[in-house]
A and B are shown apart, each in its own frame.
Chain A
Amino acid sequence: MLVYFPYDYIYPEQYSYMQELKRTLDAKGHGVLEMPSGTGKTISLLSLIVAYQRAYPLEVTKLIYCSRTVPEIEKVVEELRKLMEFYAKETGETNKLLALALSSRKNLCVHPEVSSLRFGKEVDGKCHSLTASYIRAQRHSNPSQPICHFFEILHANIVVYSYHYLLDPKIADLVSKELAKKSVVVFDEAHNIDNVCIDSMSVNLTRRTLDRSQANVETLQNTIQRIKEIDAAKLKEEYRRLVEGLKEANVARETDIYLSNPVLPDEILQEAVPGSIRTAEHFVGFMKRLLEYLKSRLRVQHVVQESSPQFLKDIYEKVCIDRKPLRFCAERLRSLLRTLEITDIADFSPITLISHFATLVSTYSKGFTIIIEPFEDKTPTIANPVLHFSCMDPSIAIKPVFERFQSVIITSGTLSPLDIYPRILDFRPVTMSSFTMTLARTCLCPLIVGRGNDQVAISSKFETREDFAVIRNYGNLLLELSGIVPDGIVAFFTSYIYMENIVASWYEQGILENIQRNKLIFIETPDAAETSMALEKYQEACENGRGAILLSVARGKVSEGIDFVHHYGRAVIMFGVPYVYTQSRILKARLEYLRDQFQIRENDFLTFDAMRHAAQCVGRAIRGKTDYGLMIFADKRYARADKRGKLPRWIQEHISDGSLNLTIDETVQLSKHFLRQMAQPFRREDQLGLSLLTLDQLQSEETLQRIAQIAQQV
């Protein structure tokens, strides 16, 4: 198979990655692939799959590329454009590929043509809000001809959009249901995919939500009243449709056009909407009763945890709501909103949320739990009741994706340990591989700092985290490093509270003042605007040579989506192991479920989760082969084999025995040495043949052997 690769040189691991990818596609199975960030995952994926599409147009019809954030999607489109240009140049023919990127309206609606289109659709009343937005990254389609959005999705060869469009049942239904079976689905940056799945299936209800839905119901009622006076026929028409049932949908599913919506299981489609909620007034009354019931449930003084069947039984006893109408709640509401021609869906989001909750709770008896908490743990005196309806099984949301599409590729820079993903997502991959980075020079330097200069073990362990000596040693570590690391340092703490405590304590001890002599300090806060401001100033300080430290939190915004290339992050310090807050009831329920259903021990999962976040944090610093950075793990526990073994392979292989359990001054010495080595001039010629390959080199026997070692099968 001939693969066009739009760059002159190729990294050996990219070649290896493509080989694995091809194997997966050949087998028509699913794959889990881990390759370090900055080694060109995206372009390898795109160039191989596009080549595959050209070679076997019947086997693979479509590529669905899911990424996490808007900038990432933009990057993908950019790479794709490069690839297309290269194709056009090499083959000399205008290519027939159509690529389409989807995102939210907010991001993309700058184009006058598009916005007018969107308006047209709103009038149309059919595609209410989510569908309307798109940009067209396609090259060949005739621009003068107005094309329907759905039509394009059906015919585009490459679709790029966010996870939610495929996973979130509420959106997926609108956007993704018509995608063909012979598609390849790629989830990029998928290390958090289980959480995305869970989030998309979980519902949190507060008193505020209920109050607002109450208002919604009233609006609905008024609108119905009004419509009735003006146009009673409309409501009748709806009624008739509902009697006929969702027959149409059923037909569609049988003919295999739709991606099955997990919210709407098969049985529902075969039945008509039950009589009790068929007329609009009855439905509104029904919703009122449901709301009242939920309100009464929120008036609790103690924490309640129950399963969905228990909840259903209770609701039946209290307000005589049956299971069946509950299941149709979401569908019925949508139909009503459509009939009433309400354009501003956003106003009705609380009531929509409630209806989703009702449908979910009555549909799934397993894998979900309901927890009602009268107050938050932090503030036990303030009543703030919350009803968590939380999904514990990520496989529920992703199951239709795995079932429907012939190949699903899950890939990211940090997926270790690989074997846990198939287990929690409940699928069987044909390939699971981890690739390392081939480097002409060792450009990353992971160090595990276990002790202070006074030999006191440092750790963010619960028992010792308040310990004065530990806090002081953490402070000293940062102080020393601020003196030797140029430009930017990013420090991650395990939580906001912990960061606040430590920083306050440093301030009292005068450590902060000393640090500020070397570098400026910026702090991430839960407020997004503040954080982006801090980030901007941080980058400015790195840029003009003043140097800066960014204190931020693992699992925060900074740790997930911001890259610290080159001088923006010469060192990353991870203070402590970022375990999740283990006392949370939702987490406890999930852990229990994992243990019962998938035989994953609590501790294994917690460690896995902590380590993937740690790896994610430290991985922020290295974004390519010319980049370099220190990775400092400041906790004694990282030295243990069970923690260390869960780091991605490309980090693990650089941790030598000599860099375990270091003291602070050993760390400083090693870092100094490392930074000086890295500052030596580094040219492209040095990389050639080692970590950069030309076509000739790629064909040599010796190189192929070396490449074979890069991938590690699990």
Chain B
Amino acid sequence: MDEEPERTKRWEGGYERTWEVLKEDESGSLKATVEDILFKDKRKRVFENYGQVRLGMMRHLFVVIDTSRTMEDQDLKPNRLTSTLKLMEYFVDEYFDQNPISQIGIIITKNKRAEKLTDLAGEFSPRRITAVWLLKHFSDSFCAGSSISHGWPRLKQSVSNRHMPGHTSREVLVIFSSLTTCDPSNIYDLIKTLKGLKIRVSVIGLSAEVRVCTILTRETGGTYHVILDETHFRELLTFHVKPPPASSSSECSLIRMGFPQHAIASVSDQDSKPSFSMSHLDNSSGPGLTLGGYYCPQCRAKYTELPVECKVCGLTLVSAPHLARSFHHLFPMDAFQEMPLEEFEGERFCEACQGELKDKSVFICSVCSSAFCVECDLFIHDTLHCCPSCIHSQSTS
């Protein structure tokens, strides 16, 4: 594998105190406290989900990625940009996994300008894949542009130009690496506009807390976090995978949805004729003629993938499993009860991973009272959304 030629040598890079991560806590209470706070935060995420909250399940999310010069910084390995891209791939996958009926778009900012890489699009749209690919490709060519980033005007334009139904949540997630923004007009006016449009802006800062972001997120009801390291970055992104609570002012409406049947046609069938999928008409890179597919129940337009918004009649086409996947956010699992390890009686093995319980606390399912370790607790709540031992007992009974 060949090295990138322009990469600086190891000894030319920044001075790092790598051993400090490993250091046992002796003198500074700082590390312990902060970690404690982080641990609480981790748990908080699980807790926050309770209660019957209205969630904005049909999300329209724009991710704004700052690609200014500061992205070259090597404090994330190998540098901020590459690391961000890697995590973005994970994020997009995760996002569609958890929110199948939502859409995502990507905007990059650099050199005092913002470019829209992809417009809002649903899952598995080849354009999404291209976007990430494009971004990767793009990363080679980006360079010493001025460290000023601003995506707001562009973003505002593209969000407001699109007509969006009132029941959907409009969100923006900014990955903000630089410490400065440069705006043609007063940024506080913009914040007001965003607030007026009910766009929720969240920011993940890669370097430090910037005042204007604090205000931006506070005003628009988003969250503001600054990463500590890559793991923390990933955690923060995961945090944004879950749909946010819908604002009470967003309208409730019934949405027409189509559930097209997948028609499988074999070549032997006389009636079947190969046809183009509507979603692939505008780009040549997609697959060409196919036999089977999903046909819109309203206008019989054909699509190879779901979910999608029908190009002809505008109907949202989904399949039942998609809805079900989104559904679990509405009925989240109860949080497990935390209990100090000393007080826990019974076998000291995690019900899920069968590993020994070593942490200072264990987590008990309130229904079946099985014990889990922290990691499994998080996994169950974040990914499985159901307690394995509960299901186990259900199936046996």
Residues of chain A touching chain B, judged by Cβ–Cβ distance below 8 Å, are: 440-442, 483-487, 517-519, 542-547, 566-567, 570, 656, 663, 665-666, 668-670, 672-673, 675-682, 686
Contact = CB atoms under 8 A, between A and B. Distances in A.
Given A544-B186, A656-B27, A680 B207 contact: no
Interface in B105-146: 146
A487 B210 contact: yes
A483 B70 contact: yes
Nearest to B228: A676
B226 interface: yes
Contact of B209 (A441, A517, A663, A675): A675
Interface string B160-204: 000000000000000000011111001110000000000000000
B188 A544 contact: yes
Contact of B211 (A441, A483, A486): A486
Given A675-B208, A676-B207, 6 more contacts: A484-B179, A486-B179, A546-B182, A567-B210, A673-B17, A676-B228
B396 interface: no
B182 A486 contact: no
Interface residues of B, number: 38
A664 to B, nearest CB: 9
A485 B210 CA distance: 9
Given A485-B179, A545-B187, A677-B228, A686 B37 contact: yes
B33 interface: yes
B209 A545 contact: no
A124 B34 CA distance: 67
A665 B12 CA distance: 11
Given A441-B30, A441-B34, A486-B179, A543 B207 contact: no
Interface in B25-56: 27-30, 33-34, 37-38, 41
B225 interface: yes
A680 B30 contact: no
A566 B147 contact: no
A680 B226 contact: yes
Contacts of B227: 676
A518 B73 CA distance: 14
**Which 3 residue pairs spanning A and B have beta carbons closest together?**
A545-B212, A679-B226, A567-B211
A364 B287 CA distance: 103
B209 A678 contact: yes
Contacts of A675: 207-209
Given A440-B33, A441-B33, A669-B16, A545 B210 contact: yes
Nearest to A548: B180
B178 to A, nearest CB: 9
A680 B20 CA distance: 19
B19 to A, nearest CB: 12
A668 B14 contact: yes
Nearest to A672: B75
B227 to A, nearest CB: 7
A440 B228 CA distance: 19
5 contacts: A544-B187, A545-B210, A545-B211, A676-B226, A681-B225
Contacts of B33: 440-441, 686
A552 B182 CA distance: 25
Interface of B: 14-17, 20, 27-30, 33-34, 37-38, 41, 70, 75, 146-147, 179-183, 186-188, 205, 207-213, 225-228
A484 to B, nearest CB: 6
A483 B179 contact: yes
Given A517-B147, A669-B17, A679 B179 contact: no
Contacts of A442: 28-30
Nearest to B229: A676
Contacts of B226: 676, 679-680
B41 A681 contact: yes
A544 B15 contact: no
Contacts of A670: 17
B218 to A, nearest CB: 12
A666 B146 contact: no
A679 B204 CA distance: 11
A87 B209 CA distance: 40
Given A544-B183, A686-B37, A679 B211 contact: no
A435 to B, nearest CB: 19
Contacts of B147: 483, 517-518
Contact of B179 (A543, A547, A656, A678): A547
Given A669-B16, A676-B227, A680-B38, A517 B207 contact: no
Nearest to A545: B212
Given A441-B33, A485-B179, A486-B207, A545 B27 contact: no
A74 B211 CA distance: 27
A702 to B, nearest CB: 17
B15 A666 contact: yes
B180 A679 contact: no
A545 B213 contact: yes
A677 B28 CA distance: 13
A519 B227 CA distance: 22
Contact of A679 (B38, B75, B208): B208
Contacts of B187: 544-545
Given A483-B70, A680-B228, A544 B205 contact: no
Nearest to A440: B33
Given A486-B207, A669-B15, A676-B226, A547 B34 contact: no
Contact of B207 (A484, A567, A686): A484
A443 B132 CA distance: 39
A566 B30 contact: no
Contacts of A663: 15
B211 A542 contact: yes
B14 A665 contact: yes
B148 to A, nearest CB: 8
Contacts of B188: 544
A238 B210 CA distance: 69
Contacts of A679: 205, 208-209, 225-226
Contacts of A484: 179, 207-208
Nearest to A686: B37
A289 to B, nearest CB: 64
A680 B37 contact: yes
Contacts of B70: 483
Contacts of A673: 17, 20
Contacts of B225: 679-681
A657 to B, nearest CB: 10
B209 A486 contact: yes
A669 B14 contact: yes
A487 to B, nearest CB: 5
